[in-house]
A = this chain, B = another copy of it.
């Protein structure tokens, strides 16, 4: 239904979490803080590192850190990193769908693509961070979550 993948959602949460504190952070640590399963966090982090959104440091006391501040990361970059290039139709992404000259669909979705691309580039992770109710960013919230216990894993994503 025109929705982006859950991994992308996770990626945003992880990136925002990385921004909360400087210095490297390990994937188990982020997993614990976000209530996202650890292997999934690792997967997301690896992908993000490959796309240059985060930098990694290997070895003992290694971890990940943000490559640039949240305000310099448009959502479009995150989506592109996880879900691949933003392309509404098959025609648009791979160049010629078969024979570019013959396909009348060619170019049809271009204006739509451009509009969405522009919209996605105009919103940074900092914007999304601010969209969260302040209450959720306070320590009290985290404590409260811990009490709730068992239901945590199925939750979509947390800070």
Contacts and interface: CB of A to CB of B under 8 A. Distances in A.
A90 B156 contact: yes
A52 to B, nearest CB: 19
A49 interface: no
Contact of A112 (B75, B105, B109): B75
B131 A89 contact: no
A107 B159 CA distance: 14
Interface in A118-145: 118-120, 122-123, 127-128, 131-133, 136-137, 141, 144-145
A112 B88 CA distance: 16
Interface stretch (A18-26, A56-64, A65-73, A77-85): A77-85
A13 to B, nearest CB: 7
28 contacts: A1-B83, A1-B85, A1-B86, A2-B4, A2-B83, A3-B88, A4-B89, A6-B89, A6-B90, A9-B109, A12-B108, A75-B112, A89-B156, A97-B156, A98-B154, A98-B155, A98-B156, A103-B158, A104-B132, A104-B157, A105-B157, A106-B133, A107-B131, A107-B132, A112-B128, A115-B120, A115-B122, A116-B120
